[in-house]
């Protein structure tokens, strides 16, 4: 650029040659005046505009204010020449902020470049959107960026930039991106052949999935499949092998994405995932001498350990991980020690047993004195997570000793954690009071109000503790210096419970008054106000020191602080009332217990440890804290999605005084409800489905691109379903996604035998095997969703012919046995009956072969010689379920040729089974198959 614009080159040389700032400013002012004149005169060609705008950009980069050239930059964007367009985009991204009025003039030019066939223009436009991207621009251009991302004609480097641009827009303006609507199309790009595209799309999916878990659930299978291809099958180009580690950045992202979802129940996915994690850990068993190789391998390993902990803390993988982590927390490398401590904290926060972590307690405590503050912080987090009743006194004692020499940046967090651990794992209330008062004495200004509020609350609610607390706080106040928080605790406790120790030697009312009042001169007005409240309570219980207390009130009646003055005047008036007056006694009654509620300390700590853009999948503080967090997160998602059954108002964590008000923190429990996919419709589709409900094989769906066929077999409460998917077109179907939606997973389990393939070659067929288990009675069949790329993105959802009657088995009964059981079951509600019209066959007769085929196809055993009428059909079967056991089922079919009606009666020991079986049989009997 400099070689083609001599004026710009000379301008830069003049600026660099200026020996003092005044000369530089003079040269810039002269140039800006010249540029303004040129722009005002007009008639500039593209080259001249480019040159002058480049000078303005350079001036802006030097730090000078620029108020000219904005319109010319907008005009340059519309230029067909790359060099002019590049300078225009550079000026727009540098000189304009996201709320600039000039941006409205640029939107159409950017859209034109996004729609163009020139990849360089596409990229310039994407850069501008990502760097400036205000809400108006995002709303206007998000669809165009998405189109560029999913277009089959887009180059790989354009797709990468489009994915990252969408990610930037979503983080700034999440409401503009219809994340759920675009889910399947974006996820399909995770199968792209270019791993660079996959990395960028995975970054986008990670951000979108955190807020739309259900919509992006298919990404779970995609992530497992890609990890399998990278780690097990080594399916990647040499370009993406970083020091012999296959694409470590992609592996880390995929492993993190899997942690956003609950562990999969699909045995095929669990098996592949276990194999991947085992391979990653085996590869990292022995460290390499190459530093870069170690770094890449450790990055993947620590994320893999995090996923193994997330999946199952009792698995052998986690035992292997614990051994590796023990080695890492003693490593010479600071980064490895940091990651080792952080991952071990994850283990401590999830594990059922803390014994594997406790083995290394001494090493972790030594890490508190590491030379690196970030390692010290992770050691603190780990000690906080691994603390329990057995080691609480040791850990809290170590933290108190370290608190005196800890970094100021750590002290506030340490105080909160010590206070929480002391309360949570206190072996006795006396130890709790001793420890908290030591904490307040040692930490000083780093003790938040929440800490001493909590002490007051617990002492007030624990009658056996009040006398001991009064003695201990009195002893602490004897020290030459006492922090203001300690004075507050002392003022409250001695004011309420000082009378309990007043008769013991060394704790007389006068001594209590002297020790407390001697500290008041160093306190703020708020603390002195609290002490005045203490004194009026003493007027009521210690009449022997009333003169000294009245003197204090008299003195404070004339201070400038309005709060202190008002209290002093009111308390002085109360103290002067006659002794027989009961008003003083009523005002100074002992505080009642506080209503039980959660500690405000946890709210304060969680607020300090807020989420980043990449939300944490766990928090420090043990298994209980993470279980509670997961429940809270699910309820929040339910409320956000509008599926929560009810909601309650949560207390404000900022209102510290309100933390003692006994607010109800209970929230209604809710479960996540996934939306049912939109089903494909058509007469053939319904006819194929109805036929397959009473037959074991046939076509389920067919169009011009694919054909889906079914073969099935059932035995007892389990079954196997083979799905044959054929590609009818001469091009491959890529990004093939197959998913099964089950309405009630507690009643029916449907899982793939292995991870489905993501490509179907031209004019070939692939088979996918489903394992089916009936746990209890169900009424809604599962839905198979198939999506793929074939020029454009196609999605089809169809019902699978897995119905309740598939799990029936034959029962042989004689005439007497049948009618005995029929009567034993009785009528409603365990009977379901319907009368419906039927069609006669071409000969005008009842279609008995069809009726027999339907009943036998629904796996009822047709019983002969039961009914005297030969046209009536009788059947019996037993439904097998893994949870509810066996359920008997009997049926009678009575067709009437003259009336062209049929009566169907089903009786079962379960009313749900009777109703469902009757409806299934009626649909099949009426269907035109």
**Residues marked as binding?**
6-7, 38, 47, 51-55
Q: Both tokens of residue 72?
A: 């010319």
Query: Within 10 Å of residue 242's Cβ, how many Cβ atoms?
Result: 16
Q: Report the C-alpha gap between 231 and 281 in whole angstroms.
A: 11
Q: State the DSSP string of 96-117.
A: --TT-TTHHHHHHHHHHHHHSS
Q: For residue 148, give every residue at least 6 positions away whose Cβ sits within 8 Å of its Cβ, in sequence order, or none.
A: 114, 122, 126, 154, 158, 159, 162
In contact, 149 and 163? CB cutoff 8 Å: yes
Sign of CA dihedral 271, 275, 277, 278: positive
> Going along 570-647, which residue ranges are E strands?
none
Which helix (H) or strand (E) segment is 169 a member of?
helix 156-172
Other residues' Cβ atoms within 10 Å of the Cβ of residue 33: 11
Judge whether 392 and 421 are in contact, CB under 8 Å.
yes
862 membership: H or E segment, kind and range: strand 861-863
Q: Which of 710, 715, 675, 679 is nearest to 695 (CA)?
A: 710
Q: Per the structure block, which two tokens stand in for 149?
A: 């991302």
Neighbouring CB atoms inside 10 A of 869's CB total 8
Non-local (6+) Cβ contacts of 59 within 8 A are 28, 31, 32, 66
Q: Residue with structure tokens 């340059």?
A: 76
Encode burial over 504-519: b for 16+ CB neighbours within 10 A, e otherwise.
eeebbbeebbebbeeb
Listed residue (479, 485, 411) closest to 454, CA to CA: 485
Closest CA to 517 of 469, 544, 564, 552: 552
Q: Find out whether 42 and 69 touch, Cβ atoms under 8 Å.
A: no
Start-end of H helices in 745-861: 815-825, 848-857
CA distances from 18 to 53, 61, 463, 591, 894 (A): 22, 17, 80, 76, 107
- Return the axis-axis angle of helices 408-424 and 392-403, rounded to nearest 10°: 160
Instruction: Give the CA-trace dihedral at 97, 101, 103, 107, to 10 degrees.
Output: 150
- The whole-angstrom separation of Cα 929 and Cα 917 is 19
């Amino acid at each position: 650029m400099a070689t083609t614009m001599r004026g710009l080159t000379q301008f830069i040389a003049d600026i660099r040659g200026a020996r003092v700032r005044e000369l530089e400013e003079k040269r810039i002012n002269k140039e800006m005046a010249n540029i303004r004149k040129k722009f005002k005169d007009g008639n500039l060609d593209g080259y001249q505009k480019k040159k002058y705008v480049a000078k303005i950009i350079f001036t802006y980069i030097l730090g000078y204010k620029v108020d000219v050239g904005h319109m010319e930059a907008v005009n340059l964007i519309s230029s067909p020449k790359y060099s002019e367009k590049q300078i225009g985009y550079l000026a727009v991204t540098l000189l304009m902020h996201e709320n600039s009025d000039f941006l409205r003039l640029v939107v159409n030019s950017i859209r034109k470049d996004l729609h163009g066939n020139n990849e360089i223009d596409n990229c310039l436009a994407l850069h501008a959107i990502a760097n400036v991207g205000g809400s108006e621009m995002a709303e206007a251009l998000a669809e165009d960026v998405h189109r560029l991302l999913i277009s089959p004609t887009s180059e790989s480097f354009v797709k990468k930039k489009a994915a990252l641009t969408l990610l930037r827009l979503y983080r700034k303006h999440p409401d503009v991106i219809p994340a759920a609507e675009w889910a399947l199309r974006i996820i399909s790009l995770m199968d792209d052949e270019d791993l660079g595209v996959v990395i960028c799309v995975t970054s986008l999916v990670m951000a979108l999935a955190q807020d739309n878990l259900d919509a992006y659930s298919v990404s779970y299978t995609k992530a497992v499949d890609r990890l399998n291809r990278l780690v097990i099958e080594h399916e990647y180009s040499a370009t993406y092998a970083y020091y012999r580690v296959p694409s470590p950045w992609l592996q880390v992202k995929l492993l993190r994405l899997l942690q956003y979802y609950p562990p999969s129940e699909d045995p095929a996915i669990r098996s592949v995932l276990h194999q991947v994690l085992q391979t990653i850990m085996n590869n990292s068993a022995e460290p390499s001498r190459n530093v870069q190789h170690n770094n890449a391998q450790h990055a993947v390993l620590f994320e893999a350990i995090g996923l193994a902990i997330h999946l199952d803390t009792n698995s052998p993988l986690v035992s292997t991980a614990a051994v590796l982590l023990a080695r890492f927390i003693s490593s010479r490398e600071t980064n490895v020690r940091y990651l080792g401590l952080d991952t071990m904290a994850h283990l401590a926060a999830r594990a059922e047993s803390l014994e594997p972590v406790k083995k290394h307690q001494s090493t972790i405590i030594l890490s508190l004195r590491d030379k690196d503050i970030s390692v010290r912080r992770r050691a603190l987090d780990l000690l906080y997570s691994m603390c329990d009743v057995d080691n609480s006194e040791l850990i809290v004692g170590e933290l108190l000793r370290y608190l005196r020499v800890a970094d100021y940046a750590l002290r506030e967090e340490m105080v909160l954690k010590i206070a929480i651990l002391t309360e949570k794992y206190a072996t006795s209330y006396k130890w709790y009071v001793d420890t908290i008062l030591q904490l307040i004495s040692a930490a000083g200004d780093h003790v938040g109000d929440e800490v001493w509020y909590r002490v007051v609350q617990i002492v007030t609610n624990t009658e056996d503790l009040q006398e001991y607390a009064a003695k201990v706080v009195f002893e602490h106040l004897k020290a030459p210096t006492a922090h203001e928080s300690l004075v507050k605790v002392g003022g409250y406790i001695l004011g309420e419970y000082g009378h309990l120790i007043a008769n013991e030697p060394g704790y007389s009312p006068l001594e209590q008054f002297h020790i407390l009042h001697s500290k008041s001169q160093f306190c703020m007005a708020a603390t002195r106000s609290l002490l005045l409240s203490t004194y009026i309570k003493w007027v009521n219980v210690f009449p022997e020191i009333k003169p000294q207390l009245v003197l204090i009130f008299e003195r404070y009646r004339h201070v400038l602080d309005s709060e202190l003055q008002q209290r002093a005047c009111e308390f002085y008036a109360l103290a002067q009332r006659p002794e027989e007056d009961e008003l003083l006694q009523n005002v100074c009654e002992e505080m009642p217990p506080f209503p039980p509620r959660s500690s405000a300390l946890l709210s304060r700590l969680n607020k300090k440890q807020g989420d980043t853009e990449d939300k944490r999948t766990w928090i420090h503080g043990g298994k209980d804290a993470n279980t509670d967090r997961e429940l809270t997160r699910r309820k929040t998602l339910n409320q956000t999605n509008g599926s929560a059954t009810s909601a309650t108002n949560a207390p404000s964590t900022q209102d510290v005084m309100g933390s003692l008000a006994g607010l109800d923190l209970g929230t209604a429990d809710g479960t996540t409800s996934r939306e049912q996919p939109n089903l494909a419709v058509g007469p053939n589709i319904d006819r194929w489905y109805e036929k397959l409900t009473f037959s074991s094989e046939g076509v389920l769906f067919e169009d011009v691109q694919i054909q889906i066929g079914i073969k099935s077999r059932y035995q007892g409460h389990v079954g196997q379903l083979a799905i044959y998917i054929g590609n009818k077109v001469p091009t491959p179907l890529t990004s093939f996604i197959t998913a099964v939606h089950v309405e009630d997973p507690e009643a029916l389990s449907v899982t793939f035998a292995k991870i489905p393939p993501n490509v179907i070659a031209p004019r070939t067929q692939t088979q996918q095997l489903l394992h089916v288990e009936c746990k209890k009675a169900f009424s809604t069949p599962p839905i198979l969703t198939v999506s793929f790329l074939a020029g454009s993105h196609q999605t089809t959802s169809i019902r699978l012919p897995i119905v309740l009657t598939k799990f029936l088995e034959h029962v042989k009964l004689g005439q007497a046995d049948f009618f005995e059981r029929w009567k034993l079951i009785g009528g409603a509600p365990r009977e379901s009956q319907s009368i419906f019209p039927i069609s006669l066959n071409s000969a005008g007769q009842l279609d008995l072969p069809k009726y027999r085929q339907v009943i036998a196809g629904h796996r009822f055993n047709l019983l002969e010689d039961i009914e005297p009428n030969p046209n009536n059909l009788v059947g019996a079967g037993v439904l097998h379920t893994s949870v509810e056991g066996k359920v008997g089922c009997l049926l009678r079919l009575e067709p009437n040729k003259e009336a062209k009606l049929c009566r169907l009666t089903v009786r079962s020991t379960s009313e749900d089974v009777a109703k469902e079986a009757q409806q299934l049989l009626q649909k099949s009997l009426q269907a035109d198959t």
